[in-house]
Structure 1
Amino acid sequence: MSSSSLKPARIASLDQFRGYTVAGMFLVNFLGGFTNCPQVLKHSHNYLSYADTIMPHFLFAVGFAFRLTFGRRISSAGVGAAYRKVVTRFLGLMLVAIAVYGSGRAAESWEELQHIGVWGALYSPMKREWFQTLMHIALTAIWITPVIRSSAGVRIAYLFGSAALHVLLSHSFNFEWCSTSPNVIDGGPIGVLTWSIPALLGTLTCDAVAGAEGRPNLVKMFAWSIVVMGIGWLMTCGTRLYDVTESQIAEREQDAKMQKYLTDEINGRIAPLNKELGEVGKAIAGLRAQLDGMSLAVEQVTDPEEREKLNQELEAALEKDSELRNKIDVIKQEFQAYRDGTEVFISKQLEVKAKLGEINAKLNGSKTVDKVVDEKQRAKLTAQKEALIQEDAAAAAGLEELKANPQDPNAPQVRVFRDSKLAIDPVFPSQARIDALKARFDEQGWRAIVAEPPFVYPPHTKPGVGKRSVMLREWNYWMVSQRQGTLSYTVIAGGMSIFLYAIFYIACDIWGLRLGLFTTFGTNALFAYALHPLTGGAVKAFMPRDVATWYMWLGFTVFMLFTWLFVRVLEKNNIYIKL
């Protein structure tokens, strides 16, 4: 079915669904930073909370509306003009995103800006600050534009292709890159690949609703939503490959202590240099002010001898500035190996253990491997086993040596003390993990491989969800993570979007129900989104992070009323901010 065949009438449920999504975003964005905010309303990066369901609803609504309106645009403007208009509008939304999100100051002085260069200045905003909701909406819409008029089969194939590409890129570099400082927020630059999943599901739902003769088949819609959510949940079961055993916890706690030591050490060495660097920067600014008359407080120097003296002082200050920056860079490079983490020795141990598992299975027999009875073959396998045990011992010794001497300049450039919560094989698990899961399955049955359902926090060794609690599962690609934009996350959330939209269709388009709050926010969503940080900031100025629960909810009520009044005034005057 082409997009031009879709019904042109406005669908009330879409506006109400969009308004609900905006209101939900206001809820989690406002409350998320308070101590007494329920965990389910916070982004936790390693399971599906209510907060994590909001952004996929945005992308679902974008895909639905895009599919619904593009045919009209072609009918009125022609194919070429329609595509140009769409791309132009979403490029404009990208500029709006940059303006709305902004970024921190790239450098505190001209010298520092010259030192870090263009890429150094753009690295953080391009990785983190700019790539939030509006930027992902714009890029995702552009990404799906080539297939927006295509058949359902083509769009589904495009969805699978985007998902596969995200898996491969995550394995290649992206999972690790997203987890290093500065962390990404919503999947980073390649998050568009998985954000396209709820968007494309939105286009398919649009076909079911706007292309139906009479009412859509809601039973089929609910059924498909459950199927999609089920597929996503089955993906999350892959996280059980990354369970941490009790015997590994003490080692991880020791590694965490070492990481803290190294972080404190590097910060302690850099802090005085940064202080001295600030003083040198002030001296440089003062000298330049005297030389060039750049300050109202000093007059331009005209005496040649005095100018020469100031020039020499300025040159010495610039040299000092460069020397301090180089010292800081050396310290950072010295500790980079330890702060970022790598897997040279650890991955070697995993590889060895996997081979040992295979040999032991052949020597001793298992459910899947017959026991070796040939004596020559047994002797050969035994010799291989002994060699592997020695390799394992050597890797363990090397690991312990690096831990004991983290500042040894002659030590190999190996990053051992990686973030202990991150798996070293996050996308495609090692054979050792697979063997361990098989062993747990033999012992525990299905309980060993079934993951928690959505909205249930992963297990910890300590009660609560505090940052100091030790997780019993390493972070990996198959968990639900909005930070990473993982495949399981967008698939589950996309299925939830279909399910929730079907409820809205029943309530709004069949029963005729409307909620004024959702109407106001849903028809002016861009303005409401851009406004809410300002109104939220005004209210939060009177709310410390540890306010009482009742005060927190009172503040949220004031914020919602404040924001709604602004958007309602525009609605009453028929003013709608759109691209």
Structure 2
Amino acid sequence: METPVKNGTPDAEAPARIVSMDQFRGYAIFGMIMVNYLGNFGVMPETFRHHDHGMSYADLIAPLFIFVAGMGFRLSFLRRLEKDGAVRTALAALRRFSVLILVGIVLYGPAPENWRNWWDALVDIGFAGILALPVIARGAGVRAGLAAVWLALYQALHTLTGYGAWTMTHSIDGGPLGILPWAAIFLFGTIAHDIASSGDTRRLLPKIALWGLALCAAGWLLKFEWPGVKAEWPFTQRGMTAPYPLYAAGLCFLSYLPFYLLCDVGGWRIPHLSVLGMNPLVIYIVQQALGDMHGTIIPESSGPAAALAGFAGFYLICYAVAWKLHRDRIIIKL
């Protein structure tokens, strides 16, 4: 892991950060903390819970998390590429994603019999980064093409074999092969980075909106039956069939727009978000550990007041960790 020198002076030659990306990442972290806690309480709205079919607010958080990871990876890869060259940069990325996979497996339960539950955010990001690595420095068209290949391959395996039925009853988020559609969302995030970093406000807004609307439309159209061509495809995060990641990626593009307008154009900052987004891996692990013990403190059958009070404490602990790292200028990454 790498940590900058505490209380050091920023490198004068370091490229300026894209504030909207930092805020967007913080929003994904905040959403994750909120749904992972409040979704456990029966009194909370259904939109705070994950569902096998359809899409709730909770179901959008994982795509946002992986989409913004793609944005960040494209940014860091291109910066390091200029300094270290293609081979060293690619090997460093491969090592980083491999370690992330191992961290995820340990966090989700490393016992071999638990392998069906390994396919959560950290493991999916790790494999998505590896699957995106061959084209990460290529143009947007090539990356979009590879995303389409991963989606088509997964959809064929889901539809033409027994894998689809298996993963709906035995695993989560697409299971072991779900890394393919998650890699597609990751790759779409790299394209969003290119648009966001262009600095051309006049073209940026329509480009982001066009990508978002086009992907949402593609996902919606693929869901329906095409008489004589294909049956209706499920719309499910558990199964990760093509309509879902396409629609989710489109929503990720559209969700980024307000942050660009507010932060990069308007110069505003939403309190807490940049701090939360500075150390996403640490905060993910902290909230995961806290979540494992919350039921022993506030029962899941509690009323709304107790649930919201518990969330306030849960969130403040996560934010306190993020703030301490931010204050000490420590960034922990693999």
Deviation at 1:523, TM superposition (A): 0.5
Confirm whether residue 145 of structure 1 aligns to residue 152 of structure 2: no
2:215 pairs with 206, 222, 228, which one? Answer: 228
Q: What CA distance in whole angstroms lies between the structure 2 residues aligned with 1:217 and 1:569?
A: 35
Q: Is the 8 A contact 2:146 2:184 kept in 1?
A: no
Please give the residue correspondences for 1:173-212 in structure 2 after superposition, counting only pairs within 5 Å: 173-180=162-169, 183-212=170-199
Name 1:156's counterpart in structure 2.
144
2:39 pairs with 20, 32, 41, which one? Answer: 32
Q: What CA distance in whole angstroms lies between the structure 1 residues aligned with 2:239 and 2:48?
A: 18
Confirm whether residue 57 of structure 1 aligns to residue 64 of structure 2: yes
Q: What CA distance in whole angstroms lies between the structure 2 residues aligned with 1:562 and 1:71?
A: 34
SS in 2 for 1:534: helix
Deviation at 1:539, TM superposition (A): 4.1
1:520 pairs with 261, 275, 279, which one? Answer: 275
Q: What CA distance in whole angstroms lies between the structure 2 residues aligned with 1:484 and 1:85?
A: 32
Deviation at 1:546, TM superposition (A): 1.3
Q: Which amino acid letter does the alignment assign opposite residue 186 of structure 1? A: D
Name 1:92's counterpart in structure 2.
99
Rg comparison, structure with higher value = 1
Q: What CA distance in whole angstroms lies between the structure 2 residues aligned with 1:214 and 1:38?
A: 37
Name 2:6's counterpart in structure 1.
none
Runs of 4+ aligned structure 1 residues displaced above 4 Å come to 212-216
Q: What CA distance in whole angstroms lies between the structure 2 residues aligned with 1:224 and 1:532?
A: 32
Deviation at 1:507, TM superposition (A): 0.7
Deviation at 1:480, TM superposition (A): 2.1
2:322 pairs with 567, 574, 577, which one? Answer: 567
SS in 1 for 2:333: coil
Q: Is the 8 A contact 2:286 2:318 kept in 1?
A: yes
Name 1:510's counterpart in structure 2.
265
SS in 1 for 2:222: helix
Q: Is the 8 A contact 1:209 1:215 kept in 2?
A: no
1:21 pairs with 28, 34, 39, which one? Answer: 28
Q: What CA distance in whole angstroms lies between the structure 2 residues aligned with 1:217 and 1:167?
A: 31
Deviation at 1:11, TM superposition (A): 0.4
Confirm whether residue 44 of structure 1 aligns to residue 51 of structure 2: yes
Q: What CA distance in whole angstroms lies between the structure 2 residues aligned with 1:103 and 1:40?
A: 30
Name 2:8's counterpart in structure 1.
none
Q: Is the 8 A contact 1:198 1:497 kept in 2?
A: no
* Structure 1 stretch displaced more, 92-101 or 215-224: 215-224
Name 1:246's counterpart in structure 2.
none
Q: Which amino acid letter does the alignment assign opposite residue 131 of structure 2? A: W
Name 2:79's counterpart in structure 1.
72
Q: What CA distance in whole angstroms lies between the structure 1 residues aligned with 2:120 and 2:37?
A: 16
1:479 pairs with 230, 234, 239, which one? Answer: 234
Q: Is the 8 A contact 1:539 1:558 kept in 2?
A: no
Q: What CA distance in whole angstroms lies between the structure 2 residues aligned with 1:428 and 1:216?
A: 37
Q: What CA distance in whole angstroms lies between the structure 2 residues aligned with 1:74 and 1:132?
A: 29
Q: What CA distance in whole angstroms lies between the structure 2 residues aligned with 1:196 and 1:65?
A: 14
2:290 pairs with 535, 538, 543, which one? Answer: 535
Q: What CA distance in whole angstroms lies between the structure 1 residues aligned with 2:215 and 2:201?
A: 25
Q: Which amino acid letter does the alignment assign opposite residue 221 of structure 1? A: I
CA distances 1:258-306 after superposition (whole Å, capped 9, x unpaired): xxxxxxxxxxxxxxxxxxxxxxxxxxxxxxxxxxxxxxxxxxxxxxxxx
Q: Which amino acid letter does the alignment assign opposite residue 536 of structure 1? A: G
Q: What CA distance in whole angstroms lies between the structure 2 residues aligned with 1:23 and 1:152?
A: 29
Q: Which amino acid letter does the alignment assign opposite residue 207 of structure 2? A: K
Q: Is the 8 A contact 1:40 1:49 kept in 2?
A: yes
Q: What CA distance in whole angstroms lies between the structure 2 residues aligned with 1:96 and 1:537?
A: 17
Q: What CA distance in whole angstroms lies between the structure 1 residues aligned with 2:168 and 2:52?
A: 11
SS in 1 for 2:300: coil
Q: Which amino acid letter does the alignment assign opposite residue 137 of structure 1? A: I
Q: Is the 8 A contact 2:181 2:245 kept in 1?
A: yes
Deviation at 1:165, TM superposition (A): 0.2
Q: Structure 2: any 5+ residue segments left out of the alignment?
A: 1-13
Confirm whether residue 577 of structure 1 aligns to residue 312 of structure 2: no
Q: 1:100 to 1:216 in 2, by over 3 A?
A: farther
Q: Which amino acid letter does the alignment assign opposite residue 149 of structure 2? A: G
Deviation at 1:568, TM superposition (A): 1.3
Q: Which amino acid letter does the alignment assign opposite residue 274 of structure 2? A: T
Q: Is the 8 A contact 1:209 1:216 kept in 2?
A: no
Deviation at 1:537, TM superposition (A): 4.1
Q: What CA distance in whole angstroms lies between the structure 2 residues aligned with 1:534 and 1:96?
A: 13
CA distances 1:199-221 after superposition (whole Å, capped 9, x unpaired): 11111111212134566520232
Q: Which amino acid letter does the alignment assign opposite residue 153 of structure 1? A: G
Q: What CA distance in whole angstroms lies between the structure 2 residues aligned with 1:428 and 1:174?
A: 18
Q: Percent identity?
A: 34
Confirm whether residue 167 of structure 1 aligns to residue 155 of structure 2: yes
Q: Is the 8 A contact 1:103 1:129 kept in 2?
A: no
Name 1:433's counterpart in structure 2.
none
Q: Which amino acid letter does the alignment assign opposite residue 29 of structure 1? A: N
Q: What CA distance in whole angstroms lies between the structure 1 residues aligned with 2:15 and 2:215?
A: 28
Deviation at 1:577, TM superposition (A): 1.6
Question: Aligned pairs, how many?
Answer: 319
Q: What CA distance in whole angstroms lies between the structure 2 residues aligned with 1:235 and 1:41?
A: 26
Q: What CA distance in whole angstroms lies between the structure 1 residues aligned with 2:292 and 2:151?
A: 37
Q: 1:540 to 1:576 in 2, by over 3 A?
A: farther
Q: What CA distance in whole angstroms lies between the structure 2 residues aligned with 1:566 and 1:576?
A: 12
CA distances 1:493-535 after superposition (whole Å, capped 9, x unpaired): 1001101112111111111111232111100110000001233
Deviation at 1:46, TM superposition (A): 0.6
TM-score, scaled to structure 2: 0.90
